[in-house]
Copies of this chain bind each other. A is one copy, B any other.
Amino acid sequence: MEKNGSIVPAEFPELKNETFLRAAQGEQTEYTPVWCMRQAGRYLPEFRETRAAQDFFATCRSPEMCCELTLQPLWRFPLDAAIIFSDILVVPQWTLMSYMIEGGGSNTMAKAKAWLYRHPEASHRLLTLLTDVIVDYLVGQVAAGAQGGTEEGRGLKVAPMLQALQLFESHAGHLGPEQFAEFALPSIRSIAKRVKNKLLEDALPAVPMIIFAKDAHYALEDLAQSGYEVVGLDWTICPQDARQRTGKDITLQGNLDPCALYAPKEKIGELVKKMLEGFGSQRYIANLGHGLYPDICPEHVGAFVDAVHIHSRHLNKCS
């Protein structure tokens, strides 16, 4: 972001670190790129301070604030991707329907699921409507992100700002294999296909897309074939099993248990090493299996990021 307040600089600086994008597109990388879900989050004291200054929606509406929050974790750690701070940049999809019907959070999502069982056709119509909105929203984000942004003062250049899209399905664990196949998978497939077509049509850059369906262990094979470059995994999936089930032509992302960052730093290093050996250091983006918790010590996040870089370089050298 330029200090004059404009987020649309006249020219884009060259992209300095494309390791994340290369891995997402299945190209060889020197080391394994790493980022953390919720890396711009409450575990950072500077995040809490910036956020405390005004209310949540005011923050979301301020490009300067969003840029500040987005970059905070990158000033601390050598992360390979910035996540734009926004309430629904990562759009909950089926998820959205469940909140609409439940009228809020729920442990069992019983009302939303009852609706799927009782009114399958109306459910499909609602999901189709939501899919339309999401496709427009995602294409809009790419269009906005392609305008880029730079941050000159503190040694970082980030442009174009939007390089990849991640779609969350947070409630796959509430659906079983059949409801997921009937209600979630068609929308997931359709979003990838329509976003890609629309980007091409509008002469916008093609961006790699990531699908992260939490607790969808039963659908890994289908997700690997759903039109996304990257499949994100939660921590209940064994890396070796994931590789075997999804094949060689997909990039995997994940999946350290966020709670593992409560462990001593040496233990974090061991767990990262094991995870890298399981996934392999290529066609792989290291991440957590879910978002960072607010009480995780920033230093331990740093230990995680460093361990990924160190061990993956070592693995690449040995292989």
Contacts and interface: CB of A to CB of B under 8 A. Distances in A.
A30 interface: no
B217 A263 contact: no
Given A108-B293, A110-B295, A176-B289, A236 B259 contact: no
Nearest to A262: B114
A178 to B, nearest CB: 8
A117 B236 contact: no
A113 B236 contact: no
Contacts of A235: 176
Interface in A158-176: 173, 176
B176 A173 contact: no
Interface in A209-230: 215, 217-218
A237 interface: yes
Contacts of A257: 113, 176, 179
A140 interface: no
Interface residues of A, number: 30
Contact of A113 (B177, B218, B241, B259): B259
Contact of A293 (B110, B217, B260): B110
Contacts of A289: 176
Interface in A263-307: 263-264, 267, 289, 293, 295
B259 A110 contact: yes
A125 interface: no
Contacts of A236: 173, 176-177, 215, 217-218
Given A237-B218, A293-B108, A118 B179 contact: no
A126 interface: no
A238 interface: yes
Interface string A170-198: 00010011010000000000000000000
Interface in A24-56: none
Interface in A231-258: 235-238, 241, 257-258
Given A108-B259, A176-B236, 5 more contacts: A108-B293, A110-B259, A113-B257, A177-B236, A177-B238
21 contacts: A108-B293, A110-B258, A110-B259, A113-B257, A113-B259, A117-B259, A117-B260, A118-B263, A118-B264, A173-B173, A173-B215, A176-B236, A176-B257, A177-B237, A177-B238, A179-B257, A217-B218, A217-B236, A218-B236, A218-B237, A218-B238
Interface of A: 108, 110, 113-114, 116-118, 173, 176-177, 179, 215, 217-218, 235-238, 241, 257-260, 262-264, 267, 289, 293, 295
The 4 closest A-B pairs by CB, nearest first: A114-B262, A113-B259, A117-B263, A176-B235
